[in-house]
């Protein structure tokens, strides 16, 4: 089994040779720090709107080295944050509904760009399934459906599938029902981010790799090779943000881990079904997420070790054996036939979590400093919408995007250590205890345990 090497996705396509680093100090109109989806989509839309703009992207490693090249490949319309918290914005509930509508359209926008730019990322819009594998999970799914309906989401946006309807799509052990949202696509994320980086450089933006930014201030991004001076400097560093001076408590780098099987046999696929390529999760508190890959494997992710003391980062995605074993157990429990294919590769990455679990798109016109992120693990589509929004904000063009409720949203800072570490570890210990009780058929107390975890961590209900 391969471990780390950034991700299976990158190993499958091959890590490309590095683009040149910043040769020395230079000037630009817009300097973007970080070449993941957020930074690259921002550069892409800036250049499309105004080809004359001098856009420089500075990347510490290579484009797509972070979460963008390691994720579960869900291009999901899931709101990266809490409806009730975004509803505190002056536009209230209507603003939240509009943000959600824009996110749904973003799934199609990503597909459109893939078509127009010739990016073959195996994108299939098959929707997403959240399955219940116990009575307690099923009860939570039904509550969730009621909640969605109370926000106005009709059956065109989300619907319940009973056991039989679900089995027509996918057969997982003990699955008794599911919620289905049509607005989600599956991709090979490294293919998407690499294709996007190509589109960005073709547009005339300059992407410097192996160029770590050591500090950001108004008008300047500093690197060991020299400074980039620009009236607009945009921080697009998501789970890596804590390493920048002054940002240690802005976003918590939450770790997420993945495994991928070898290719499954035709017989295995016949027993599983899954011909619609829906992305898949369960309704456990410590939930998993999965996709059927374009080359006939199952890639499955979950939390593993959720957080490293002091906002520490992984080394090129390497993960501990206990996490591989834990995810492998979940996979074999759901799909016993996957045992034949074994686990071929495991890796991890960090996503950015703000203290109130709500993403932000920010631009301070006084300083020219902007940023977007804090997608809490739902950033593949959201980064596209954030990038389009940042592009409008930089150009000073009022648009339907610049008034969405995540624009200018301010999250509190995280507590200093060791409270941060204890809080996140405690949250997942409670979630796992709740899931164990549910598996043992003792469900009534689980909601209390999980709710206690939510309260500690600030996860909204
Ligand atoms: C394992 C995993 C699974 C996930 N699954 C999903 C999913 O299925 N669907 C979904 O919607 N979301 C998912 N996410 C989250 C999603 O991948 C992220 O929200 C999204 O990719 C964030 O993009 P980004 O560009 O903001 O950040 P990143 O992709 O992390 O990019 C940040 C970039 O900034 C660079 N950088 C950092 N610091 C500096 C610096 N000082 N100087 C220069 N460059 C710097 C990094 O090297 C990196 O390339 C997952 C995340 C992980 C880790």
106 lines ligand 1 (CB under 6 A): no
pLDDT in tens, 396-406: 999 999 999 99
List the one residue out of 174, 421, 356, 359 whose CA is nearest residue 283. 174
pLDDT band for position 420 (cuts 50, 70, 90)? confident
Q: Which residue in this structure is represented by tokens 């600030």? A: 458
DSSP state of 80: S
CB neighbourhood size of 461 (10 A) = 8
Higher pLDDT, 459 or 41: 41
Give the atom of ligand 1 at the shortest distance from the alpha carbon of 76.
Answer: 11
pLDDT at 415: 87
List the one residue out of 259, 271, 339 whose CA is nearest residue 70. 259
pLDDT at 426: 79
pLDDT at 344: 98
72 lines ligand 1 (CB under 6 A): yes
> How deeply is 35 buried, as exposed, middle or buried, from its count of CB atoms within 10 A (0-12, 13-18, 19+)?
buried
pLDDT band for position 457 (cuts 50, 70, 90)? low
pLDDT at 255: 93
pLDDT at 432: 78
pLDDT at 93: 97
As a whole number of angstroms, the distance between CA 2 and CA 193 comes to 22
387 lines ligand 1 (CB under 6 A): no
Instruction: Please answer whether residues 442 and 135 qualify as being in contact, where contact means their C-beta atoms are separated by less than 8 angstroms.
Output: no
In the reported structure, the alpha carbon of residue 68 is separated from the centroid of ligand 1 by a whole-number distance in angstroms of 4
User: Is residue 36's pLDDT more than 70?
Assistant: yes
In the reported structure, the alpha carbon of residue 256 is separated from the centroid of ligand 1 by a whole-number distance in angstroms of 11
In the reported structure, the alpha carbon of residue 71 is separated from the centroid of ligand 1 by a whole-number distance in angstroms of 8
Rounded to an integer, the average pLDDT of 397-418 is: 95
Give the atom of ligand 1 at the shortest distance from the alpha carbon of 40.
Answer: 25
pLDDT at 361: 98
310: alpha, beta or left? (left if phi > 0; alpha if psi -120 to 50): left
Q: Which residue in this structure is represented by tokens 């509550």? A: 143
370 lines ligand 1 (CB under 6 A): no
Give the atom of ligand 1 at the shortest distance from the alpha carbon of 62.
Answer: 49
Higher pLDDT, 229 or 440: 229
In the reported structure, the alpha carbon of residue 107 is separated from the centroid of ligand 1 by a whole-number distance in angstroms of 18
In the reported structure, the alpha carbon of residue 34 is separated from the centroid of ligand 1 by a whole-number distance in angstroms of 9
In the reported structure, the alpha carbon of residue 64 is separated from the centroid of ligand 1 by a whole-number distance in angstroms of 8
pLDDT at 308: 86
What percentage of the chain reaches a pLDDT higher than 70? 96
pLDDT in tens, 167-181: 999 999 999 999 999
Rounded to an integer, the average pLDDT of 51-60 is: 98
In the reported structure, the alpha carbon of residue 149 is separated from the centroid of ligand 1 by a whole-number distance in angstroms of 31
The torsion angle over the Cα atoms of residues 129, 130, 131 and 136, rounded to 10 degrees, is -160
The sheet carrying 26-27 orders its strands as: 26-27, 226-229, 220-223, 215-217
58 lines ligand 1 (CB under 6 A): yes
59 lines ligand 1 (CB under 6 A): yes
383 lines ligand 1 (CB under 6 A): yes
In the reported structure, the alpha carbon of residue 238 is separated from the centroid of ligand 1 by a whole-number distance in angstroms of 6
Residue nearest to atom 20 of ligand 1 (CA): 379
pLDDT at 141: 96
Cis omega (within 30 of 0) for bond into 418:
yes
Probe residue for ligand 1, chosen from 237, 358, 361 as the CB with the greatest number of ligand atoms within 8 Å: 237
39 lines ligand 1 (CB under 6 A): yes
pLDDT at 444: 54
As a whole number of angstroms, the distance between CA 251 and CA 240 comes to 8
Q: Which residue in this structure is represented by tokens 């932000």? A: 360
80 lines ligand 1 (CB under 6 A): no
Rounded to an integer, the average pLDDT of 67-96 is: 96
pLDDT at 21: 98
| Structure tokens, 236 | 């697009």
Instruction: Please answer whether residues 323 and 305 qualify as being in contact, where contact means their C-beta atoms are separated by less than 8 angstroms.
Output: yes
Residue nearest to atom 3 of ligand 1 (CA): 71
pLDDT at 439: 75
374 lines ligand 1 (CB under 6 A): no
User: Is residue 139's pLDDT more than 60?
Assistant: yes
User: Is residue 460's pLDDT more than 70?
Assistant: no
Pairing of strands 184-186, 177-181: unpaired
User: Is residue 247's pLDDT more than 90?
Assistant: yes
pLDDT in tens, 286-312: 889 999 999 999 999 997 777 888 888
**Any idea which of 124-133, 193-202, 281-290 has the lowest mean pLDDT?**
281-290
Q: What is the C-alpha R_g of the chain?
A: 21
Give the atom of ligand 1 at the shortest distance from the alpha carbon of 289.
Answer: 8
351 lines ligand 1 (CB under 6 A): yes
Give the atom of ligand 1 at the shortest distance from the alpha carbon of 375.
Answer: 19
DSSP state of 311: G
Q: Which residue in this structure is represented by tokens 């157990």? A: 329
Rounded to an integer, the average pLDDT of 96-103 is: 98
In the reported structure, the alpha carbon of residue 36 is separated from the centroid of ligand 1 by a whole-number distance in angstroms of 6
As a whole number of angstroms, the distance between CA 58 and CA 221 comes to 9
302 lines ligand 1 (CB under 6 A): no
List the one residue out of 51, 61, 56 whose CA is nearest residue 39. 56
| Structure tokens, 252 | 């918590």
The sheet carrying 369-373 orders its strands as: 206-208, 55-58, 30-33, 232-235, 369-373, 360-364
317 lines ligand 1 (CB under 6 A): no
User: Is residue 410's pLDDT more than 80?
Assistant: yes
Tell me the average pLDDT of the chain.
94
> How deeply is 156 buried, as exposed, middle or buried, from its count of CB atoms within 10 A (0-12, 13-18, 19+)?
exposed
Q: What contacts 180, CB < 8 A, 6 or more positions away?
A: 127, 128, 129, 158, 159, 160, 161, 278
User: Is residue 251's pLDDT more than 90?
Assistant: yes
Rounded to an integer, the average pLDDT of 368-387 is: 98
Q: Could you report how far apart the first and last alpha carbons of the chain are, in Å?
A: 39
pLDDT band for position 456 (cuts 50, 70, 90)? low
CB neighbourhood size of 249 (10 A) = 17
pLDDT at 311: 83
127 lines ligand 1 (CB under 6 A): no
| Structure tokens, 19 | 């683009």
């Amino acid at each position: 089994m391969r471990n780390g090497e950034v991700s299976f996705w990158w190993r499958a396509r091959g890590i490309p040779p590095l683009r040149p680093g910043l040769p020395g100090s230079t000037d630009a109109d817009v300097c973007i720090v970080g070449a993941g989806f957020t930074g690259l989509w921002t550069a892409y839309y800036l250049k499309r709107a105004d080809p004359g703009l001098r856009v420089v992207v500075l990347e510490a490693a290579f484009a797509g080295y972070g979460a963008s090249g390691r994720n579960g490949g869900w291009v999901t319309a899931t709101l990266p944050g809490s409806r009730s918290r975004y509803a505190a914005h002056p536009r209230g509930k209507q603003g939240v509904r509009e943000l959600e509508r824009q996110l749904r359209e973003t799934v199609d926008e990503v597909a459109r760009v893939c078509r127009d730019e010739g990016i073959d990322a195996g994108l299939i819009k098959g929707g997403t399934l959240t399955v219940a594998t116990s009575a307690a999970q099923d009860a939570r799914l039904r509550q969730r459906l009621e909640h969605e309906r109370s926000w106005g989401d009709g059956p065109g946006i989300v619907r319940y599938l009973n056991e039989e309807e679900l089995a027509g799509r996918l057969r997982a052990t003990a699955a008794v029902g599911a919620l289905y949202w049509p607005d989600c696509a599956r991709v090979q994320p490294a293919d998407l981010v690499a294709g996007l980086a190509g589109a960005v450089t073709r547009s005339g933006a300059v992407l410097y790799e192996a160029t770590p930014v050591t500090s950001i201030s108004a008008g300047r991004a500093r690197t060991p090779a020299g400074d980039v001076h620009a009236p607009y400097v945009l921080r697009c560093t998501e789970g890596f943000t804590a390493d920048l001076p002054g940002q240690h408590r802005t976003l918590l780098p939450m770790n997420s881990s993945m495994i991928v099987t070898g290719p499954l046999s035709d017989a295995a696929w016949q027993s599983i079904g899954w011909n619609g390529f829906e992305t898949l999760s369960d309704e456990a508190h410590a939930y998993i997420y999965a996709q059927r890959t374009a080359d006939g494997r199952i890639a499955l992710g979950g939390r593993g070790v959720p957080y490293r003391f002091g906002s520490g980062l992984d080394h090129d995605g390497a993960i501990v054996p206990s996490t591989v074993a834990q995810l492998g157990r979940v996979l074999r429990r759901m799909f016993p036939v996957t045992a034949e294919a074994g686990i071929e590769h495991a890796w991890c990455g960090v996503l950015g979590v703000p203290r109130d679990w709500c993403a932000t798109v920010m631009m301070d016109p006084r300083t020219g400093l902007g940023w977007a992120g804090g997608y809490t693990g739902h950033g593949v589509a959201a980064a596209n919408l954030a990038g389009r929004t940042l592009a409008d904000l930089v150009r000073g063009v009022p648009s339907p995007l610049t008034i969405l409720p995540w624009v200018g949203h301010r999250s509190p800072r995280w507590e200093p250590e060791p409270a941060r570490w204890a809080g996140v570890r405690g949250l997942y210990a409670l979630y796992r205890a709740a899931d164990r009780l549910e598996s043992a058929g003792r469900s009534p107390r689980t909601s209390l345990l999980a709710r206690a975890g939510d309260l500690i961590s600030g996860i909204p209900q």
